[in-house]
Amino acid sequence: MIKLFRHLKPYRWLVAAVLVFVFFQTLSELYLPTLMSDIVDTGVVKGDTPYIWRVGLFMLLVALGGMACSIAASYYSSKAASGFGMSLRAKVFGHVTNFSLEEFDKLGTASLITRTTNDITQVQQVLIMMLRMMVMAPMMCIGGIIMAVSKDAKLSLIFVVIMPVLAGAIFLIAGKGIPLFKAIQKKIDRLNLVMREALTGIRVIRSFNRIQHEEKRFEAANADLTETSIKVNKIMAFMMPVMMLVMNVSSVAIIWFGGLRIDAGHMQVGDLMAFLQYAMQIMFSLIMVSMMFVMVPRASASAVRINEVLEMAPIIKDTGVTKTPESRKGYVEFRDVTFSYPGAEEPAVQHISFSASPGEVTAIIGGTGSGKSTLISLIPRFYDVESGQVLVDGVDVREMTQADLRSKIGFVPQKAVLFSGTIRENIRYGKEDATDEEVRHAAEIAQAADFIGGMENGYDSVIAQGGTNVSGGQKQRLSIARALVRGAEIYIFDDSFSALDFKTDAKLRAALKEETRESTVIIVAQRVSTVMDADRIIVMNESRIAGIGTHRELMETCDVYREIVYSQLSEEEIA
């Protein structure tokens, strides 16, 4: 938490202003009871009405000043906290944007989203609370004690008894309550989990006729949550009455002992009344501090998560000296490449060597976990190799700037991701200054023109967030169009035809063939029919290359390939 607050630095003057204004506000609040006691001791006792009026007017001025300070403090604290939130968000977002896939894998996308949004909002909220109230509490507490002592030092000894009692009560109740609150959170999560599983699995549950079983599971989670909630609320039921009791009994005690002091001539009635109010202010500030104990842990959990993101350094960086490849275009070469995911025992790919040139189609086939996707994600340098080299246009990818490298590549991911915006905007994502003609051309090759034309607004139809209003196959075709509009040297298709039916798949590949005559094409696929006609088929098996060659060659030499083919096609088609 503290670590995060160094991001407050640009706002330190705002925070200083908050502190100053809160200080003056506290002073005014503390001064009012003293003035009131003057009214009683001087005005009332002597029957001096003009004096009462004068002091009354003065009190109003003090209160007005207090209000002005408080509003000013609110102004600066709002600006400081919102500014803090803004710059922290920008910082985290910028930092995450530079992450390589490795860092994304480590923390998880969903978690990164919450860290950038909810967690920062949470910390910002607490910062506001701190600037508004918790800064005031200690000042009020100390100021109140000083004022009380100045009124009557001996009577102040009463605080020596009251404060430990109050603090003890708060700690005892909070100590019992807080672990239970945590337990409640866990039980709510559990209930949510049961519920979510029941929703996602609704067809399975109903088809296996296990509704009753699910009902029991829900009931158990529900009863568990209810029980703990009742328990915690019963404990918290102590909180307010106990605190009220302590406060009330203390004020009675103050009156009793104060009375004795007055009788002995050590203090005046007005002082006693002021003293009472100081006692209240002190105790309220104690309660406020205790609230801090509840709020800060919640925010500090968020703070820890944010720090984790900020402290993670992206592994892939541009090196100082970068080379720009010469005139060669579209050459991809792997030289004995080995790569393992961090923490993995076995390399994901090992000893991979091959090269691909413009005008060639290289297909990669193999089972899941055989390293196909890993292999191609090394080309745009999503990860850095462990040993060996990946060369693009004759230059090691680590010696190019990431921007240069990626501008050569048209990439179509396994999972088609679209962004909210029009279809045109989505296709232009591949090339910002693409003309309408280029966009249309790309869509036609990707076999997307038909369904786009069928939409009400054509290319201006809006894609919802997450692309929920287009089907899986349509998404895939749009994401292919997006890559094609780039006019790239190297095209990479990571199992990008899986959601297409056979017919569209074939048509698309035929059109693609025409379009990519000048480019290097690398296709990862599951279907034999997709790879059969490639210039070069790389068969992956358990992170190694099991064979390289054309369909014909591999049918004769590669067992793994044959096995794949037989599992998909019948004899007739193979021949």
Partner 1 sequence: MSREQSEKMPQRSGGRRGGHGPGGPGMAMPVEKAKDFKGTLKRLIRYLRPHKLQLIAVLAMAVLSTIFSIVSPKVMGEATTKLFEGIYGKLQGIPGASIDFQYIWEIVLYLIGLYLLSSLFSYVQQYLMAGVAQKTVYDLRQDVNGKLNKLPLKYFDARTHGEILSRVTNDVDNISNTLQQSLTQLITSILTIIGVIVMMLTISPLLTLIAILTLPVSVLAITSIAKRSQKQFVRQQKELGQLNGHVEEMYTGHKIIKVFGRERKSQQQFDEINGRLYEAGWKAQFISGVIMPIMSFIGNIGYVLISVVGGILVTKQTIKIGDVQAFIQYARQFTMPITQTANIANIIQSTVASAERVFEILDEAEETPEAAKPARIEEPKGNVVFDHVKFGYEPNQSLIEDMNIRVSPGQTIAIVGPTGAGKTTLINLLMRFYEVKGGAITIDGVNITEMKRGDLRSLFGMVLQDTWLFNGTIRENIAYGREGATEEEVVQAAKAAHADHFIRTLPGGYDTVLNEEASNISQGQKQLLTIARAILADPAILILDEATSSVDTRTEVYIQRAMNELMKGRTSFVIAHRLSTIRDADLILVMNHGTVIEQGTHEQLLEQGGFYADLYNSQFSKGGMDQEAG
Residues within window 538-557 making contact with partner 1, judged by CB under 8 A: 550-552
Contacts of 171 (CB under 8 A, 6+ apart): none
The least CB distance from residue 294 to partner 1, in Å, is 7
Alpha-carbon span 235 to 241, nearest angstrom: 11
Contacts of 4 (CB under 8 A, 6+ apart): 88, 123, 303, 306, 307
For residue 170, what are the CA distances in angstroms to 18, 242, 290, 364? 29, 9, 7, 66
Alpha-carbon span 121 to 85, nearest angstrom: 7
Which residues between 472 and 511 bind partner 1 (CB under 8 A)?
472-473, 482, 486, 495, 498-507, 509-510
Alpha-carbon span 543 to 350, nearest angstrom: 6
Alpha-carbon span 559 to 575, nearest angstrom: 16
Stretch that binds partner 1, among 157-165, 323-331, 435-443, 567-575 (CB under 8 A): 567-575
- From residue 7 to residue 36, what is the string marking binding to partner 1 with x (rule CB under 8 A)? -------------------------x---x
- From residue 81 to residue 100, what is the string marking binding to partner 1 with x (rule CB under 8 A)? xxx-xx--xx--xx-xxxxx
Residue 462 lies near partner 1 (rule: CB under 8 A): no
- Determine which residue in the list 153, 165, 172, 237 makes contact with partner 1, applying CB under 8 A: 237
| Per-residue tokens: 289 | 């501090």
Which residues between 143 and 182 bind partner 1 (CB under 8 A)?
none
Burial, 94: exposed, middle or buried (Cβ in 10 Å; 0-12, 13-18, 19+)?
Answer: exposed
- Determine which residue in the list 19, 79, 178, 515 makes contact with partner 1, applying CB under 8 A: 79
The least CB distance from residue 269 to partner 1, in Å, is 5
> Is the CB of 164 or the CB of 259 nearer to partner 1?
259
Residue 186 lies near partner 1 (rule: CB under 8 A): no
Q: Are strands 349-356 and 332-339 parallel, antiparallel or unpaired?
A: antiparallel
Q: Is 497 helix (H, G, I), strand (E, B) or coil?
A: coil
The least CB distance from residue 530 to partner 1, in Å, is 9
- Determine which residue in the list 244, 301, 315, 462 makes contact with partner 1, applying CB under 8 A: 244
Stretch that binds partner 1, among 38-46, 322-330, 338-346, 436-444 (CB under 8 A): 38-46
Residue 197 lies near partner 1 (rule: CB under 8 A): yes
Alpha-carbon span 267 to 257, nearest angstrom: 11
Which residues between 305 and 344 bind partner 1 (CB under 8 A)?
none
> Is the CB of 336 or the CB of 450 nearer to partner 1?
450
Stretch that binds partner 1, among 42-50, 142-150, 167-175, 325-333 (CB under 8 A): 42-50
- Determine which residue in the list 2, 160, 263, 321 makes contact with partner 1, applying CB under 8 A: 263
- From residue 427 to residue 446, what is the string marking binding to partner 1 with x (rule CB under 8 A)? --xx-x--------------
Applying CB under 8 A, the site for partner 1 has a residue count of: 168
Contacts of 219 (CB under 8 A, 6+ apart): none
| Per-residue tokens: 195 | 């519920």
| Per-residue tokens: 478 | 């749009």
Alpha-carbon span 475 to 467, nearest angstrom: 7
**Contact predicate 144/138, CB 8 Å:** no
Q: Is 390 helix (H, G, I), strand (E, B) or coil?
A: strand
Beta strand residue intervals within 425-549, DSSP E: 462-463, 490-494, 520-525, 536-541, 544-549
> Is the CB of 177 or the CB of 350 nearer to partner 1?
177
- Determine which residue in the list 168, 175, 259, 342 makes contact with partner 1, applying CB under 8 A: 259
- Determine which residue in the list 4, 7, 22, 77 makes contact with partner 1, applying CB under 8 A: 77
For 208-276, the DSSP string reads TT-HHHHHHHHHHHHHHHHHHHHHHHHHHHHHHHHHHHHHHHHHHHHHHHHHHHHHTTSS-HHHHHHHH
Which residues between 212 and 231 bind partner 1 (CB under 8 A)?
213-215, 218-219, 222-223, 226, 229-230
Which residues between 115 and 134 bind partner 1 (CB under 8 A)?
116-118, 121, 125, 128, 132
> Is the CB of 226 or the CB of 457 nearer to partner 1?
226
The least CB distance from residue 552 to partner 1, in Å, is 8
The least CB distance from residue 396 to partner 1, in Å, is 18
| Per-residue tokens: 381 | 């340098």
The least CB distance from residue 339 to partner 1, in Å, is 17
Which residues between 383 and 402 bind partner 1 (CB under 8 A)?
402
The number of beta carbons lying within 10 Å of the beta carbon of residue 144 is 26
Which residues between 516 and 535 bind partner 1 (CB under 8 A)?
526, 529, 532-533
Stretch that binds partner 1, among 153-161, 301-309, 435-443, 470-478 (CB under 8 A): 470-478
Which residues between 56 and 75 bind partner 1 (CB under 8 A)?
56, 59-60, 63-64, 66-67, 70-71, 74-75
Alpha-carbon span 183 to 411, nearest angstrom: 46
Rg of the chain's alpha carbons, rounded to an integer? 36
Residue 366 lies near partner 1 (rule: CB under 8 A): yes
Burial, 325: exposed, middle or buried (Cβ in 10 Å; 0-12, 13-18, 19+)?
Answer: middle
The least CB distance from residue 200 to partner 1, in Å, is 6
